[in-house]
Amino acid sequence: MSYEDGWKALNLEMPARVPRTEYSVESHWELITAVTGIPVNFQSSEEEKRRARGAFYKAWNIDLFWRTLIDKQHMPGRRTSMGHAVYETGGTDFDTKIQCPFATPEEALNFDPVVEYGQQDKIELRRMFEEDYRRGCLEHPDGINMTGIYITCLSGLIYIFGWEMLLLAAGTDPIRFGGIADRYCEWIGQHFEALAAADVPVVMVHDDIVWSSGPFLHPEWYRRFVFPNYKKLFAPLRESGKKVLFTSDGNYTMFIDDIIACGPHGFFFEPLTDMTAFAAKYGRTHVFVGNADTRVLLYGTKDGIRREVERCLDIGKRYPGFFMAVGNHIPPNTPVENALYYNECYEEMSRR
């Protein structure tokens, strides 16, 4: 791991080696055991897991650690239970509970997030952010750490309404639903203000604004109700001197220019967003992270894995703020031999 390489890239100073991050790999216990020689699985003690993860991060030279603090658990009121498919080893995250607190679109359109969730103690929020950042630094002392907000705007609305009710309400009255987005951003804004005041140099702003096919609402709705709120929310973070990083799942290629105008310093991409086009336009001025396709690791051949690493590094090596990553995670069902070969290819090609 290299704090120096990661910090150079965040500051657009072109380190000699392309730094990296990876997601979900910290729960791929079979891979961690293969890399470190430490026998560990999902039933191991937390101390055993911590020790094995630390050894793995060093072995794979992870430079940047994705992290947020404020998520659905911090919404003190009604929200939808959407269940969860099996992702973690052992199926520990499987959840069949699906329940929406809104019976009709009209009931949803009458929801007021400010009234429902109320004011938070900004001093306490600031303390929480600083403690979360310090926890990250203790867990990953040799890399770039962060804290941040997961439920920025649309991700928060998804948790409130669930997909079905969100689409019904937005389709029934887009303007009234936009008013809910404005009120939600008014509520989440206190978290952004507290984060701006916190002693934290790097922050993550997460918001899942699209599907794999692109926007799930009319693009002009985003431009009226989402991006103006982003500008307001991001402003105190920028003014406090922090590095502001943005993540969305799916394909948000068509909104890159809109989000750039809101002020983040860097972007995290899944494979569906056009990293080539982004790099050509913004690679000299912004950080970008990604975007190898996990499906190549899951189902591909060694030749396919090599080509995918080459594709990403051929794009990123020319630009100072590029970080390599499998853009849509390395889940626990990834074949160990494929993950090991991916890492081998990265290490072989990562030097500039």
> Is the pLDDT assigned to residue 95 strictly greater than 70?
no
The 10s digit of each residue's pLDDT in 318-346 is 999 999 999 999 999 999 999 999 999 99
Token duo for residue 167: 């689409």
Token duo for residue 264: 């983040």
Taking the C-alpha atoms of residue 226 and residue 174, their distance in angstroms, rounded to an integer, is 12
Question: CA–CA distance from 66 to each of 14, 62, 212, 277 (Å)?
Answer: 21, 11, 21, 24
Taking the C-alpha atoms of residue 143 and residue 10, their distance in angstroms, rounded to an integer, is 12
pTM (two decimals):
0.95
The 10s digit of each residue's pLDDT in 241-293 is 999 999 999 999 999 999 999 999 999 999 999 999 999 999 999 999 999 99
Taking the C-alpha atoms of residue 40 and residue 34, their distance in angstroms, rounded to an integer, is 10
- CATH code, 3-349: 3.20.20.210
Taking the C-alpha atoms of residue 221 and residue 233, their distance in angstroms, rounded to an integer, is 18
pLDDT-above-90 percentage for the chain: 93
> Is the pLDDT assigned to residue 124 strictly greater than 90?
yes
> Is the pLDDT assigned to residue 297 strictly greater than 80?
yes
